Amino acid sequence: MQDTQPTHPLPSYDDALDLVLQQVTRVAEENVPLGGALDRVLCRDIIADRDQPPFDRSAMDGYAVRSSEVTAGSSHPITATIAAGAEPVPSSDLAGGFARIATGAAVPGEYDAVIPLEQAQEDKDGRHVSFSVDGANAGACIHNRGADAQAGQVLISAGTPLGPRHIGIAAAVGSVDIPVVRKPCVSLITTGDEVRPPATPTDGLAPQQIRNSNGPMIDALLRNLGVELMDHVHVADDKQATLAAAQEALGKSDLVITVGGISVGRRDYLPWAWGELGLQTVVKGVAIQPGKPVFVAQPADGSGKLVIGLPGNPVSVLATAHLFVWPVIRAMVGLPPALPWRRAWLSQEALPSPRREVFRSVRLIGDTRDQVEVIRWHGSGDLAHTSQADGFVRLPAQAEPLQPGDAVRLLPMIGGAL
């Protein structure tokens, strides 16, 4: 397999991620019904088809008036009642008086203000109205035509991830067939002779066997990121079975994610399998802890497909999925790949590594939730310690311990709430 990076030294996280992102191709677009567009990335601008609002709209229940005729206590005939959505009232019916009007109703051109019900009093027969205010300002309580947007104006720009408010805006302008970036098709391969299905009963496990926690964890993470998970297969540590699974996954997916089988062990067959299938290595190892063996490869055929190999230990899997899979999927759907790192402060001493950046699970503490406490762990196989984690903190490569109060960078957990 041809390598596109030097073997030594290992790249930093930033350099490795840059190499990977250079290989990412945005997936194609598709049209989806309005109801299926939530959380999808818009491909083309959504335009106002007419002025918003399309008419002078009453902002209150009240009375449409000519502002120059309003004085406190004076009585005026009520010549019409205007409901929301009603046909226009003939001008002859409006002459010489004012009109009852509902919120959302069109204000006739004969009137230039609306006085709310709370400032008005009808007489007993309901044919006249008087007001408690001495005058009205022209335009009062009227939502003018085109005040929100004008016909032809861009309301939602291409590249926007569509939230509920965007769905409402699109509906308001009649955009019901929405052009969005297609969901990336992703296949997941987990590996290992020692790994058994999660449903395996306790008495069905040999002492040296473990349940497959990585598969369901990455499956959930991918679904949270909005991809189309094609399948999840588990492969034993067998050369030909690994090659067959790799070939099948590559044929049906934009992105293949593998777990385990990428290090230097004699039964780590995935790098060999990708070489047999003609892929070129993009990244082979990164100067980080946990997650050093991360492996990324790409076909040389220009298809834009990508393979990301994650290590086997579950904390390494979780960390590297955040560090590499997350930005890659963002780039594939046309979003900026930058992750939402933010500043935080250590609440206690933290031990970095002099050779590699360290990414450790932390919980947020303090009233302002801007302090982090590194959670005690027993290495990258200790997934249990992440149950209370809010994110990962990034510790620089250095020999000296970091002290309480030192500033660090914090990345929230996917699916968490900071």
Whole-number Å distance between alpha carbons of 375 and 417:
18
Is the same domain home to 212 and 350? no
**CATH (domain of 380):** 2.40.340.10
Is the same domain home to 111 and 40? no
According to DSSP, the β-strands at 342-346 and 371-374 are parallel
Whole-number Å distance between alpha carbons of 243 and 249:
10
pLDDT at 1 over 60: no
Is the same domain home to 163 and 204? no
Segment 343-366 shows an average pLDDT of: 96
Is the same domain home to 351 and 408? yes
Q: Quick one: pLDDT at residue 263? A: 86
Q: Quick one: pLDDT at residue 169? A: 98
Whole-number Å distance between alpha carbons of 38 and 166:
8
- Asked whether residue 288 is domain-assigned, the answer is yes
Q: Quick one: pLDDT at residue 264? A: 82
Whole-number Å distance between alpha carbons of 315 and 393:
13
pLDDT band (50, 70, 90) for residue 185 = very high
Is the same domain home to 116 and 255? no
The number of distinct structural domains making up the chain is: 4
Q: Which domain holds residue 189?
A: 13-28+182-332
**Before 161, cis peptide (omega within 30)?**
no
Query: Token pair for residue 218?
Result: 């990455």
Q: 298, 332, 366: which is the final residue of a domain? A: 332
- Asked whether residue 248 is domain-assigned, the answer is yes
* Dihedral-angle region of residue 74 (phi above 0 means left; psi in -120 to 50 means alpha; beta otherwise): beta
Q: Quick one: pLDDT at residue 375? A: 97
pLDDT band (50, 70, 90) for residue 164 = very high
State pLDDT tens for residues 51-94. 999 999 999 999 999 999 999 988 999 999 999 999 999 998 89
pLDDT at 3 over 70: no
Is the same domain home to 176 and 204? no
Is the same domain home to 35 and 175? yes
- Asked whether residue 5 is domain-assigned, the answer is no
Q: Quick one: pLDDT at residue 366? A: 87
Is the same domain home to 195 and 296? yes
**CATH (domain of 201):** 3.40.980.10
Q: Quick one: pLDDT at residue 92? A: 87
CA nearest to 6, candidates 374, 137, 16: 16
Q: 284, 305, 332: which is the final residue of a domain? A: 332
Is the same domain home to 408 and 365? yes
pLDDT band (50, 70, 90) for residue 6 = very low
Is the same domain home to 18 and 132? no
Instruction: Output the pTM of the full model.
Output: 0.88
CA nearest to 114, candidates 80, 137, 83: 137
pLDDT at 179 over 90: yes
Q: How would you label 82-108 residue by residue, b for 16+ Cβ within 10 Å and e otherwise?
A: beeeeeebeeeebeebbbbbeeebbbb
Q: Quick one: pLDDT at residue 384? A: 96
- Asked whether residue 387 is domain-assigned, the answer is yes
Q: Quick one: pLDDT at residue 369? A: 84
In the chain, pLDDT over 90 holds for what percent of residues? 91
Is the same domain home to 245 and 193? yes
pLDDT: which is higher, 266 or 206: 206
Is the same domain home to 228 and 348? no
pLDDT at 30 over 90: yes
**CATH (domain of 100):** 2.170.190.11
pLDDT band (50, 70, 90) for residue 95 = confident
Q: Quick one: pLDDT at residue 368? A: 83
Q: 113, 143, 173: which is the final residue of a domain? A: 143
Q: Where are the beta strands (DSSP E) in 96-181?
A: 98-101, 113-116, 120-122, 128-131, 142-143, 154-156, 177-181
pLDDT at 273 over 50: yes
pLDDT at 5 over 60: no
